[in-house]
Amino acid sequence: MLEQYDLGNLMVLDIETVPQYSSHDQVPEHLQELWAHKIRNNRGEATPEEFYDRAGIWAEFGKIVCISVGIFLNGKKTGLRIKSFAGHEEKELLEDFAKMLTSQPLSIILCAHNGKEFDFPYICRRMLINGVQFPPHLQITGRKPWEIPHLDTMELWKFGDFKNYTSLSLLTAIFDIPTSKDDIDGSEVGHVYWVEDDLPRICTYCQKDVIATAQLIRRYRGEPLIAEDCITVVG
């Protein structure tokens, strides 16, 4: 599977998001009302205040604090080069990411796990909110599905089964892909950002997801995993 793709034309990415405010009581009053309305069918017994730690899931109430990208390197041994765009100023982060992506060939295909449901639309929504111009690779409005240069490793695993959600952690486990994701998980990113003020830790977590997704692509193609000494983080 995926043998038709040149790995050198794939860019693997992952994003980390957090609530826009440190706590529910910091949210402007009119947005508090809209937040309660937005999540009334999702929060179960929790109050809007108690549920606010999950606000980063929605682009209307969250923000991006890190985007990590990985490019496959061709040579005697396949490598992976990773770079992160992170910061407290979301607009600046998005502008830097957009500038990088605009400089890439139009043949580049973006790839993420659950990217079509989360990463790609989230980036586009936050770019629109922040007034950041879309790079050509994210200008998908009006395109037919087969014209959109995006790959989703979760969608590929579905094989047409639309009711099936499979986490990246589960796929790395069943494909025997070693991971070092033993620090935090996605539900803790908001706490690490707002309470611990540890953005570098979040970047490391994001980069690990990029590595895991890249290794999953190798498994899908029936190829050996990328050796650890061939993975480089820059910047």
Neighbours of 4 (CB within 10 A): 5
Mean pLDDT, residues 23-43: 92
pLDDT number for residue 89:
97
* Mean pLDDT value across residues 11-18: 98
Write down the mean pLDDT value for the chain: 93
What is the DSSP annotation of 15-28?
EEEEESSSSGGGS-
Q: What is the pLDDT of residues 55-69, one digit of tens each?
A: 999 999 999 999 999
Give the mean pLDDT of 196-223: 96
Q: What is the pLDDT of residue 132?
A: 97
Q: In the structure, what pLDDT confidence band is assigned to residue 164 with cuts at 50, 70 and 90?
A: confident
Residue range 102-125, pLDDT digits in tens: 999 999 999 999 999 999 999 999
Higher-confidence residue of 24 and 182: namely 24
The DSSP secondary structure of 182-231, one letter per residue, reads -S--GGGHHHHHHTS--HHHHHHHHHHHHHHHHHHHHHHTT-PPPPGGGE
Does residue 168 have a pLDDT over 90?
Answer: yes
| E strands present in 30-142 | 62-73, 79-86, 109-112
Which residue is associated with the tokens 């599977």? 1
Amino acid at 152: D
User: Which DSSP letter does residue 11 get?
Assistant: E
CA distance 115 to 159: 16
pLDDT at position 94 over 70: yes
Q: Quickly count: other Cβ atoms within 10 Å of residue 221's Cβ.
A: 13
Per-residue pLDDT of 173-206, as tens digits, reads 999 998 865 678 888 999 999 999 999 999 999 9
Mean pLDDT of all residues in 204-228: 96
Q: Could you confirm whether domain 7-20+61-234 is CATH 3.20.20.140?
A: no
Q: Is the dihedral of CA 92, 94, 97, 102 positive or negative?
A: negative
Query: 70-89: per-residue pLDDT in tens?
Result: 999 987 789 999 999 999 99
Domain ranges of the chain: 7-20+61-234
Residues 6+ positions from 209 with CB-CB distance below 8 Å: 14, 68, 113, 168, 181
